[in-house]
Amino acid sequence: YTAWDPTSPAFLFENTLCIPTIFVSYTGEALDYKTPLLKSLQKLNEAALEICHFFDKSTSKVNATLGWEQEYFLIDRSLALSRPDLLLTGRTLLGHAPSKGQELNDHYFGSIPMRVSVFLKELEVECHLLGIPIKTRHNEVAPSQYEVAAVFENANLAVDHNTLLMELMNKIAVKHHFMVLFHEKPFDKINGSGKHTNWSLNTNTGVNLLSPGKTPMSNLQFLSFFINTIAAILKHEELLRAATVSASNDLRIGQNEAPSAMLSIFIGKHLMQVLEDLENVTKGKLSPEEKTDLKLNVIGKIPEILLDNTDRNRTSPIAFTGNKFEFRTVGSKANCAKITTVLNAVVSEQLLDFKRSIDELIESKNMKKDDAIFNVLRETITSVKKVLAESNGNIEEGKAIKKNQKSTPFKNTPEALPAFIKKSSVVLFESLEILSSRELSARYQVDLEAYVSTLQIESRTLGDMARNHVIPTAIRYQNLLIENIRGLKEIYGEKFKVHAGEQLLILEQIAAHISEINEGVTKMINARKAANSTEDYLQKAVQYAQTVLPYLESIRYHCDKLELTVDDTLWPLAKYRELLFVR
């Protein structure tokens, strides 16, 4: 069953009227990302209004706003079509790193190539025709990697626009003989792609609730939302992590590139000092002098604009960047509705708890409103300081922060996904009426199946490429070497080894790599069969991660060694130097 979403405008796409719609089953369960997103936005509005009314009774609506940063690779289409792995999996399962990667930063700081610029200009025109407020375009760190970003919008509309953007990019790329790669890690040994998701809260009166204000009261409101958002993230750390994992994103997160897999939230030195001052607030009723000092010398001195409030190396998975929280672990091909729904839910729960705690102090302790807010904020700050980072990427500062962190270590997808069906998660979503236990279980099952299917396809593709492309090519080169050695023997007789020693050594090396590849493919197939015989999908996913995935690396290693050995004119696959530097 379907129902139109009137909060997201209809649009014309290739002569077709497209109407944003929710999808539900016959028995009422949500079958899409939009339904729980809309529910979470409504709950967040209700919870945030409860806090806003402590400061401004005229506020009648709070909207979650979203600004996404879409990273992607743009590859010559004719070269990409020579790669079965790119066609079937979206990433290169084979390929030795080129002699030059991203070390010189010449792509990052260089101008956009002309051919890419023409593609982007057409993309921008089409986006504006569809109402997508795309604004920023620039090179990214890795060669042939780029980014586009849009102006902040209401979260629901921003999610729709990002989904539409990716479809539009694929269509326009064909016209310009490009292929867009949204995979989180399409190339080994260089940076992968993410979709940084910037989240904030705006009121109907034009106030950004995550932006410092001009008065002590507006800053106290800012701190209430700022601190409670951090508390919500900490409380449901595993759930937020589960909202961004996938087989493809596992290759990016925690693999020696930013963002780090260890949870930390960058807030900057100025706000860290403010929190430390608030943590020392007297328990219970505050004296008039202490309250005045807090309002004038602590919260009253938070600058309205926090100059360049971001971590220099951008390594924190979550950062407060002046007036928004930036979530950097979202994968580039992911639907950002998933992380937004979870974030809306956990913040809603935290704000409601914050409101109850304040009301309890006002009623049971006969505290004034300001005193109650300061007391609850103090307790909340104490619970969140262990994941706050003021570091700007310096090694010594980073060590000090990591020493104090007690975050759970990085988890792959099968280990992380069960967070969705934990009792605390079920209680969270059911109490807010966003998702039922049955809906959570269904989504958990779908994510596990997607993980297994992804590794199935990748392992099958790698096996086919290894045996149908790499090994035959290596044997062809072996035959050339054998002919060369035979000719040298005819000329030099018994002394031929003096002149053919290197050829004989290469011949043996190729034979060893062929043997390892063929044996590895056989073992990988057997491991896949054993995993497929498991009926429980969690156990199947765990088996794929533990027994199948390692073969993708070991087989690749030997194939890449052959790529470096075999005659370049014989190699059947486009190499990294061609894919990444032909523009």
Q: Is the pLDDT of residue 389 over 60?
A: no
| Distance, CA of 582 to CA of 337 (rounded, Å) | 35
Q: Is the pLDDT of residue 464 over 90?
A: yes
Q: Is the pLDDT of residue 330 over 50?
A: yes
Q: Is the pLDDT of residue 359 over 80?
A: yes
Share of the chain above pLDDT 70, in %: 91
| Distance, CA of 355 to CA of 55 (rounded, Å) | 13
Q: Which CATH entry fits the domain spanning 2-435: 2.40.10.10, 3.40.50.300, 3.30.590.10, 1.10.2020.10?
A: 3.30.590.10
Angle between helices 216-235 and 369-384 (to 10 degrees): 40
What mean pLDDT comes out for the span 27-37? 96
Q: How confident is the model at residue 391 (pLDDT cuts 50, 70, 90)?
A: very low
Least confident of 93-102, 111-120, 177-186, 392-401: 392-401
Bigger pLDDT: 393 vs 296: 296
pLDDT of 317: 85
Q: How confident is the model at residue 388 (pLDDT cuts 50, 70, 90)?
A: low
Share of the chain above pLDDT 90, in %: 74
**451-581 is classed CATH 3.90.1280.10:** no
Q: Is the pLDDT of residue 369 over 80?
A: yes
Using a 10 angstrom Cβ sphere, with 0-12 exposed, 13-18 middle and 19 or more buried, the burial of residue 565 is: middle
| Distance, CA of 204 to CA of 216 (rounded, Å) | 21
Do the domains 2-435 and 451-581 sit in the same CATH topology, yes or no? no
Using a 10 angstrom Cβ sphere, with 0-12 exposed, 13-18 middle and 19 or more buried, the burial of residue 88 is: middle
pLDDT of 302: 72
Q: Is the pLDDT of residue 398 over 50?
A: no
pLDDT of 405: 47
What mean pLDDT comes out for the span 345-353? 97
What mean pLDDT comes out for the span 453-476? 98
Ordered by start, the domain boundaries in the chain are 2-435, 451-581
Q: Is the pLDDT of residue 83 over 70?
A: yes
Nearest to 155 by CA among 40, 265, 47: 40
Using CA atoms, how far residue 512 sits from 145, 479, 527, 548, in Å, is 36, 15, 22, 22
pLDDT of 127: 96
Q: Is the pLDDT of residue 95 over 60?
A: yes
Q: What is the mean pLDDT of the chain?
A: 90
What mean pLDDT comes out for the span 537-542? 96
DSSP-based three-state secondary structure for 74? strand
| Distance, CA of 471 to CA of 555 (rounded, Å) | 12
What mean pLDDT comes out for the span 403-422? 75
Instruction: Extract the runs of DSSP E, i.e. beta strands, from 182-300.
Output: 195-203, 265-266
pLDDT of 418: 96
What mean pLDDT comes out for the span 88-103? 94
Q: Is the pLDDT of residue 394 over 50?
A: no
Q: Are 277 and 194 in contact (CB under 8 A)?
A: no
Side-chain half-sphere exposure of 156, counting CA atoms within 13 A: 20
pLDDT of 216: 82
Nearest to 347 by CA among 232, 222, 245, 462: 232
What mean pLDDT comes out for the span 111-128? 96
